[in-house]
Amino acid sequence: MTAVETPRVTGAAAPARPSVGRAFTALLWRDVFVTGREFVPFLLQVVLQPVFLLFVFGKVLVELGFTTSGYADVLLPGVVSLAAFLTALQNTAFPLVIDFSFTKEIEDRLLAPLPTALVAVEKVVFATLRALVAAAVMFPIGLWVLGSLPVTWSDVPVLVFFLVLGSLVGAAIGMTLGTFVKPNRINVVFAVVLTPLLFTGSTQFPWPALDQLRWFQVVCALNPLTYVSEALRAQMAPQVPHLSLTVCALALTGFLAVFGVLSLVGFRRRALD
Angle 39-45-50 (CA atoms, 0-180°, nearest 5)? 120
122 vs 272: CA distance, rounded Å = 18
Which residue in 245, 251, 242 sits closest to 206, CA to CA? 242
161 vs 71: CA distance, rounded Å = 25
pLDDT at 15 over 70: no
**247 CB-near residues (< 8 Å, 6+ apart):** 227
pLDDT at 7: 47
Contact 52, 82 (CB under 8 A): no
Entry field: residues in the chain: 273
Measured in whole angstroms, the distance separating CA 56 from the mean position of its chain's CA atoms is 24
pLDDT at 152: 84
Which residue in 58, 88, 52 sits closest to 76, CA to CA? 58
* First-last CA distance in the chain: 58
pLDDT at 100 over 90: no
Q: Which residue has the higher pLDDT, 185 or 254?
A: 254
What is the DSSP secondary structure assignment for residue 98, as one 8-state letter? Answer: H
**Sign of the alpha-carbon torsion through 224, 226, 228, 230:** negative
pLDDT at 94 over 90: no
| Torsions phi, psi for 239 (to 5 deg) | -75, -15
Which residue in 87, 102, 77, 117 sits closest to 263, CA to CA? 117
Name the strand (E) or helix (H) holding 258: helix 245-272
54 vs 70: CA distance, rounded Å = 13
270 vs 267: CA distance, rounded Å = 5
Residue 152 burial (C-beta neighbours within 10 Å; 0-12, 13-18, 19+): exposed
Q: Which residue has the higher pLDDT, 104 or 29?
A: 29
Q: Span 215-228, mean pLDDT?
A: 95
Least confident of 5-19, 34-48, 109-123, 148-162: 5-19
pLDDT at 6 over 50: no
pLDDT at 68 over 50: yes
Q: Span 109-122, mean pLDDT?
A: 79
The pTM (predicted TM-score) of the whole model is 0.86
pLDDT at 104: 65
pLDDT at 136: 92
pLDDT at 99 over 80: no
92 vs 262: CA distance, rounded Å = 14
Q: At what angle do helices 224-236 and 71-101 cross, to 10 degrees?
A: 140
